[in-house]
Amino acid sequence: MLETFRKYTISMIAVLVVVFVGLVFFGAGSSGFGIGAPVVLEAYGQKFNQRQLKKFEERHTRLITRLSMSAPGDTQALGEYARILAGGSGLGPTSNDFVVNRLTLQKAMTDFGLQASTPEVEAFIKDTLFWQDSGFNVVAYDDFVKVEMGALGATVKNLNELVAEVICLMKLKEILGAGIEVSRELTEIDMLSAQQRITYQLLSYPVTGFKDKPMPTEEEIKTKWEETKSNYLSEPKRKVTYVLAAPDYDSILKSKEASGEKPGAIEAESAAPTTEENGCQEPAEQPAEQPAEQPAEQPAEQPAEQPA
């Protein structure tokens, strides 16, 4: 037996190499190594199979969740980062929105040249996330790294990458929001609409009284219409009031003669209207309106034998 192995040692080694290569290249897709697995997501030139997508998404979202729950300091920026990347789907394990939004953020970081240095990341962890009672809580940080991150299989490098993306998102918001001011009027409207309270009261009327009454028949409706249609189909009528007036020239001349004025003055006053502010006043019996066809030579018809 040993002699057989010694005799065919090279052949057996070659067979083992072939078997190993076959397992790597042909059996990895079904065994979960990810080589040759179908692509389930592609964004910004990056392709993910199911295993890669799960690694890219689940570990990151779980790290965010545990960090938000365990960090004793201010986690507002971390929560905003998670809310923006999750969109409207939340941090669900089956959602691709988080992956696409994270890739979008990474592309924006590259396009705008945004990056977070190691001192910035360490300062954010110590002075923001794990800042408690006027100091850096070393115990809470060590427990989080050993217990929480150890259970996820995450490392300090994964934590630093997460914090770097949070810092870059804050910088990106400052760049995009530069020079933009929120309208005070719109802010006030939104605040008032959120604070308004609407009260209503439901009134119910019994319908039994209406149901008991029979509906009118077609004949009754036609009869009622014939009786009242004159109120709706009558011809429109308009009332016009007017007055026709003409001056009494004989009375005017007699009144002038009785007052003792000369005929020349009477003719001048009758022919041309005065332009002075305080002109002569006509008798009370003179009509207010004078037609346009008044003869201009009417006063000249007086008798010539009138005494001077």
227-249, pLDDT tens digit by residue? 988 888 877 788 888 888 888 88
pLDDT at 108: 92
List residues bridging with 48 in a β-sheet. Answer: 41
Higher model confidence: residue 88 or residue 196?
A: 196
- Same domain? For 43 and 23 the reply is no
Out of 51-55, 82-86, 144-148, least confident range = 51-55
The answer to whether position 54 is within a domain reads: yes
Tell me, yes or no, whether 13 lies in a domain: yes
Residue 138 CB-half CA count within 13 A? 0
Tokens of 50: 């199911």
Question: In 74-153, at which residue ranges do the beta strands (DSSP E only) sit?
Answer: none
Residues 8 and 92 in one domain: no
Query: How confident is the model over 264-279, as a mean pLDDT?
Result: 49
* pLDDT at residue 27, rounded to an integer: 46
Whether the per-residue pLDDT at 304 is higher than 60: the answer is no
Find residue 131's DSSP bridge partners.
136
Residue 247 within any structural domain of the chain:
no
Boundaries of domain holding 14: 2-31
Q: How far apart are CA 299 and CA 308, in angstroms?
A: 16
How far apart CA 48 and CA 63 sit, in angstroms, is 20
Average pLDDT of span 76-101: 79
pLDDT > 90? residue 141: yes
Q: Based on the fold, state whether residues 59 and 151 are members of the same structural domain.
A: yes
pLDDT at 35: 53
Q: How far apart are CA 156 and CA 193, in angstroms?
A: 45
**At residue 162, does pLDDT exceed 60?**
yes
Q: What pLDDT, on a 0 to 100 scale, did the predictor assign at position 117? A: 94
Q: 248-267 pLDDT, tens per residue? A: 888 888 888 887 655 555 45
Note whether 50 and 87 are same-domain residues: yes
- pTM (whole model) above 0.75: no
Taking alpha carbons only, the member of 30, 32, 130, 151 closest to residue 78 is: 130
Q: Report phi then psi at 47, rounded to 5.
A: -115, 140
Structural domains in the chain (count): 2
